[in-house]
A = this chain, B = another copy of it.
Amino acid sequence: MTIRLFITGGTFDKTYDEISGRLLFGDTHAHEMLRLGRCRLEVSVRTLMMIDSLEMSDADRRLILENCRGAAEERIVVTHGTDTMVETARVLGEAGLPKTVVLTGAMVPYAFGSSDGLFNLGSALSFVQTLPHGVYVAMNGHCFAWDDVAKNRAAGVFEKLR
């Protein structure tokens, strides 16, 4: 069983640019993280975009949806910025694909020593293997159904709606 890993950017993949002194996007850290986790799953990585999720447009979300729909794999993990992860989950969830799709991300860039990214990636790759078809958000140990989750921005955590 191959798992598809779509990269869209977000905090997860931000790096510090030494010249400008700002957080920018370079290549994804996904390969390095899979290597660090000594991940033995067959994971097929593809970068769809590399953007801050606050800048994600409807067209971007349709692109993610079409890639999930068109993928040969039935099990898909999508890395995503946390700010609008729930919105993208809704677009994917309402499409009702016969697949298991898990969105994940990080509160702190992977390139920071203190990142939750590796924990979340290990978690998302596990949930995606065991959950029934549907769309989920996996963050910080929890896995939420796409229609029962919100980001509490003040606290910086994901919560159930109900």
Contacts and interface: CB of A to CB of B under 8 A. Distances in A.
Interface of A: 11, 16, 18-19, 21-23, 33, 36-41, 43, 83, 107-109, 111-116, 118-127, 129-131, 138-143, 153-158
Nearest to A82: B21
B154 A39 contact: no
Given A112-B113, A119-B119, A126-B127, A141 B21 contact: no
Given A36-B114, A113-B111, A154-B19, A41 B126 contact: no
B16 A116 contact: no
A109 to B, nearest CB: 6
A116 B11 contact: no
Contact of A21 (B11, B119, B143): B11
Given A112-B112, A114-B111, A19 B120 contact: no
A41 B130 contact: no
Contact of A119 (B23, B118, B155): B118
B38 A107 contact: yes
A93 to B, nearest CB: 18
